[in-house]
A and B are shown apart, each in its own frame.
Chain A
Amino acid sequence: AQSVTQLGSHVSVSEGALVLLRCNYSSSVPPYLFWYVQYPNQGLQLLLKYTSAATLVKGINGFEAEFKKSETSFHLTKPSAHMSDAAEYFCAVSVNSGNTPLVFGKGTRLSVIA
Chain B
Amino acid sequence: DAGVTQSPTHLIKTRGQQVTLRCSPKSGHDTVSWYQQALGQGPQFIFQYYEEEERQRGNFPDRFSGHQFPNYSSELNVNALLLGDSALYLCASSPTGREANYGYTFGSGTRLTVV
**Residues of A in contact with B (beta carbons under 8 Å apart):** 4, 32, 34, 36, 41-46, 49, 51, 90, 92, 94, 97-99, 101-107
B interface residue count range (under 10 / 10 to 19 / 20 to 34 / 35 or more): 20 to 34
Interface residues of B (CB under 8 A from A): 4, 31, 33, 35, 40-45, 48, 50, 55-56, 58, 90, 92, 94, 96, 100-102, 104, 106-109, 111
Contact B45 A51 (CB under 8 A): no
- Is the beta-carbon distance between A99 and B42 smaller than 8 angstroms? no
A43 and B41 in contact, given A101-B48, A101-B58 (Cβ under 8 angstroms):
no
Complex CA–CA separation, A107 to B44 (angstroms): 12
Whether A99 and B90, one on each chain, are in contact in the complex, defined by CB atoms closer than 8 angstroms, is no
**Cα–Cα distance between A97 and B33 once the two chains are bound (Å):** 15
